[in-house]
Amino acid sequence: MEMFICVLFFLAIFYLWWRWRAQDGQKIQDLSHKYVFITGCDSGFGNLAARTFDEKGFRVLASCLTEAGALDLKEATSEQLQTVLLDVTNPDNVRKVAEWIKAEVGSAGLWGLINNAGIMGPSAPTDWLTIEHFRAPIEVNLIGLINVTLHLLPLVKMARGRLVNISSTGGRLAVWGGGYCPSKFGVEGFNDSLRRDMKAFGVKVSCIEPGLFKTGLSNRKKIIQERETIWKQLPPAIRKQYGEGYIQKDAAKKEKLTQIFQNTDLSLAVKCMEHALTSIHPHSRYTAGWDAKVLWIPLSNMPTAIQDFILLRNKTELADPTAG
């Protein structure tokens, strides 16, 4: 009897798994009449997403921060893809781009909005930083994302479409100081409230949480240069606490982790975007990158004491915390 119950249990689990897989694979049809707007297409995830969705037949509207980025993207894609210059921190620019998109999509509405534009900003110990160091990434990654969404929300509701917000594992687990992680925690909160608000309108909202990828945001040389610039402006007491050579020691530790965990295949994140746009049953959250799946997301769900124990083991030791 016990064996029979065990068999029934495993059959039920298998059936539920099979049904979930079947639903997960159901796709929408006729992409050629669906408009998708993607921010931050100069490079990285946004650039690859624009090229990928253009190849698949979407009517891609891609925003770039620079003219050079827009020109390079146009040269690599079909005539159907359109580019527009957008600084998400400029309210007037956002308003004008929203008006342009409204004229382009017409009565079809906007099927997909992918909020991808983002910056890292300086990452350093919190007591090295000023409020301005926090302001830039929060303005781009969070306030800019919210403003773009608010301007385009009526068009997405018209199409009963999809909203895809690019967050980060840094929005689940703050592993370094600076404005990046707070901005991504904000994206997570905005995404959750937006998902619930839009459910009644038939709009599906998804959040993508990439791990560590080799993009412009993870440029170690730039990160070290930013820290060195900040270091030179620190009060003598703080420099004594951390000690000369702290930046180099910390960089060496981080480089070892980067070599272990960094993902180089950007398509892992773009495939998540594609599923969120084309699946009849998109996920609320996607995790991109093996490091995110096996380390950062599981760790984010663990007790704080365990998180601190693991993350503090990677901290560089201070020269003299009592110096002052």
How would you classify the pairing of strands 162-166 and 204-210?
Answer: parallel
Q: What are the residue numbers of the active site?
A: 180
The phi, psi pair for 137, rounded to 5°, reads -65, -30
Q: Return d(Cα 84, Cα 101) in angstroms, integer.
A: 10
CB 107 within 8 A of CB 33: no
CB 150 within 8 A of CB 188: no
- What is the Cβ-side half-sphere exposure of residue 24, based on CA atoms within 13 angstroms? 10
Q: Return d(Cα 44, Cα 73) in angstroms, integer.
A: 12
Q: State both tokens at 260.
A: 């272990």
Residue type, 177: G
Q: What kind and span of H or E run contains 93?
A: helix 91-105
Q: Exposed (0-12), middle (13-18) or buried (19+): which is 62, by Cβ within 10 Å?
A: buried
